[in-house]
Structure 1
Amino acid sequence: MNDAQQSIIAYCRPGYEVDTGNELTELATQKALYGYPVFKAGEGYIRFQFHEPEHAEQFINEVAVSDTIFPRQMFLVLASIAIEDKSDRIGPVVHALAQSDISRCGTLFVDYPDTEEGKALAKLCRKFAVPLRQALRARDYLTRKEQLNLAALHVFFTSGEACYVGVSQAKMRSPFENGICRLKFPPKAPSRSTLKLEEALLTMLSARQREAICRAGARAVDLGACPGGWTYQLVSRDMHVEAVDNGKMADDLMATGLVDYRAEDGFKYRPQMGHVELLVCDMIEKPDRVAALMANWLTRNWATHAIFNLKLPMKRRYETVRAAIEAVGSQLASANIKATMVIRHLYHNRDEVTVAVIREI
């Protein structure tokens, strides 16, 4: 058996390998699936090795990337390949697939770690993907036309001489190359933090939720708003925003007539009309304090839904997030509020995670 079989690969932000490993260990243990993470700090991915072969497949079929915090992408490993002849990287991949019982897949990902070393592989991956796709289609490992509803093949290069080959299921994987939702910075946005909320709205909410919550004329509160990166996302959707901060808001946002600026303390502020559809918050505060504030707004029905960031400490980041989220969940349960919570370490985040608390719609 290939030494990497009965394992999965999970991509993450470099420096977050420990947190990703801790999270996957806990998720696997909850399902009575046992294993351990294998990684080197700063590599931007981990391999999670299960003790039983069937446990890896069960885990990857039951845990979606969207249900995790730190992993960007996950796939079941079929083989670990050492490429001895750089003039033929396709042959070893095809040979590995021939040794497996994989069904025909609908799409192909050729990825690399999100590190400086990994970025040097980008050109190789782009160049390699085209002939590999043709070879796989010729051998019926890949459908003639892309079918995103089918399983996907993954080839993940860790260097020019080594890669992992694996597979994922449609509803469980990230749809993005390298697990990264790349967005263009809007030129009229006042800060790059706007990308954090845009990514959250696009990837953490369903189309139905976005349509219902971010509708024209709906009201929102942005705590810690200045200079207006998050407010920009709401205003661009024609929402009315109460922007709360002691700093200065961008003039272009104020000129829209959709922003009511309040130079107040975000921890003491109350919505002007008693209730808003959406509360957003990206304040630099301790995560437990922000979590308590968000829970207070939701349980007092000052806001129907909330999207907020939790700033992470240097150590025990996963444990800190879990504690904060469990506190929010406990308060919602006590108030009989039915809501879904999605927690993600988004690509446009750095040392924070984004939380979306969405009531049933």
Structure 2
Amino acid sequence: MNKPLPSWLVYCRPGFERDCVEETQAKPLEAVGNSGYLVLQGKARLAYNQLAFARQLLTLLGEVRDLPERDRLAPLLAALPAAPERFGALYLEVPDTNEGKTLSGFTKRFQPLLEQALRDSERLTDDACLPRLHLFFPSEDRALIATSDPHNSSDALNGIHRVSMSADAPSRSYLKLAEAFAVFMDEQEQAQWLKPRMTAVDLGAAPGGWTWQLVQRGLHVTAVDNGPLKGAAAGHPAVKHLRQDGFKFRPQRPVDWVVCDMVEQPQRVAALMTEWIVGGYCMNAIFNLKLPMKKRVEALRIALDSIRSALNKKGLRYRLEAKQLYHDREEVTVFLHREKR
């Protein structure tokens, strides 16, 4: 007898539900436009770090409808499956929509009650190696019960890494790079690859949001843009501003990082970043690929495949990941790390 295919609960940016379905190639059981979540079936194994449009990847275990307003705790506890026996964390989550945000107050009030009940029954413990328990509330009277694999999911509530804005940042793009560091690298990798006095190039830097994020981490930055830098980034001693074309600039000696947030066709940006890594100009890159309104998954696949093909042809070892971040819009952020031999 064939083993039944798993059901997945996936969170995404509202409006990108179709892209998630296309990317996973799984059967949509529930995929409402602009809802910010999907229920999918199929694909015995999905890899979270290979899904660009998924903020979170969960295994769906069950569902409770018509939750009574006066006692939601009892039916939810009764609906929890026997396996896994214990959970390492409890997340109560809501859709990333205006309607979902109105539920956040309810989940904050309800969380301590459910958490205490699970600890009393010894089903909840502080063990990061155990599966996490997720209760997702599309509405106050409906809950989807799911678990996440710590090695195949996001560890952030709602799959969103919250980052703080610097008061003197030149633009809100500062948040985008801060989120990228949190999503693509753990704390140990950040400490290793973002050391003070390392060097970076910011292509298309103006007005300086990404440059300022790098400066705040102690890096020395060459900001390349024909436009002006603004705010604290302008004239800062750790910033060298070159009024040049970001596509034509190359450093005289290798740097540790290149970052790029230029508005250009994704294939052209992908080719530029490939040249920087293959040519030995840097070891690490974070860049944005601005996607078309239609065929976004295809455009992203073509761009990423071109990078893989070029690096594989050179026999290079590398790590390549892409995610549509919370602070992204019609774009996907890519992390590319060239490993040392």
The 5-angstrom pairing of residues 94-105 of structure 1 reads 94-97=77-80, 99-105=81-87
Structure 1 residues 87 and 351 mapped into 2: Cα distance closer, same or farther (>3 Å)? same
The alpha-carbon deviation at position 214 of structure 1 amounts to: 1.9
Equivalent in the alignment of 2:262: 283
Deviations 1:112-146 (CA, angstroms, capped at 9, x unpaired): 00011111111111111111111222233223xx3
Whichever residue aligns with residue 16 of structure 1, its letter is: F
More off after superposition, 186-195 vs 245-254: 245-254
Equivalent in the alignment of 2:62: 79
Q: % of aligned pairs identical? A: 39
Determine the C-alpha separation between the residues in 2 that align with 1:289 and 1:6: 38
Find out whether 1:88 has 2:88 as its counterpart.
no
The alpha-carbon deviation at position 166 of structure 1 amounts to: 1.5
Aligned residues: 337
Equivalent in the alignment of 1:171: 151
Equivalent in the alignment of 1:117: 99
The alpha-carbon deviation at position 276 of structure 1 amounts to: 1.4
| SS of equivalent residue, structure 1 residue 303 | coil
Whichever residue aligns with residue 242 of structure 1, its letter is: T
Find out whether 1:270 has 2:262 as its counterpart.
no
Find out whether 1:48 has 2:40 as its counterpart.
yes
Structure 1 residues 263 and 255 mapped into 2: Cα distance closer, same or farther (>3 Å)? closer
Determine the C-alpha separation between the residues in 2 that align with 1:140 and 1:49: 31
Equivalent in the alignment of 1:337: 316
| SS of equivalent residue, structure 2 residue 256 | strand
Whichever residue aligns with residue 200 of structure 1, its letter is: A
The 5-angstrom pairing of residues 179-194 of structure 1 reads 179-194=159-174
Find out whether 1:209 has 2:189 as its counterpart.
yes
Structure 1 unmatched runs, 5+: 26-33
The 5-angstrom pairing of residues 1-361 of structure 1 reads 6-25=6-25, 35-36=27-28, 38-50=30-42, 58-59=44-45, 63-97=46-80, 99-143=81-125, 146-271=126-251, 273-361=252-340
Determine the C-alpha separation between the residues in 2 that align with 1:45 and 1:93: 20
Determine the C-alpha separation between the residues in 2 that align with 1:181 and 1:211: 18
The alpha-carbon deviation at position 188 of structure 1 amounts to: 1.2
- Give the TM-score normalised by structure 2: 0.93
| SS of equivalent residue, structure 1 residue 354 | strand
The alpha-carbon deviation at position 253 of structure 1 amounts to: 2.1
The alpha-carbon deviation at position 295 of structure 1 amounts to: 0.9
Whichever residue aligns with residue 333 of structure 2, its letter is: T
The alpha-carbon deviation at position 346 of structure 1 amounts to: 1.0
Whichever residue aligns with residue 121 of structure 2, its letter is: R
| SS of equivalent residue, structure 1 residue 102 | coil
Structure 1 residues 214 and 102 mapped into 2: Cα distance closer, same or farther (>3 Å)? closer
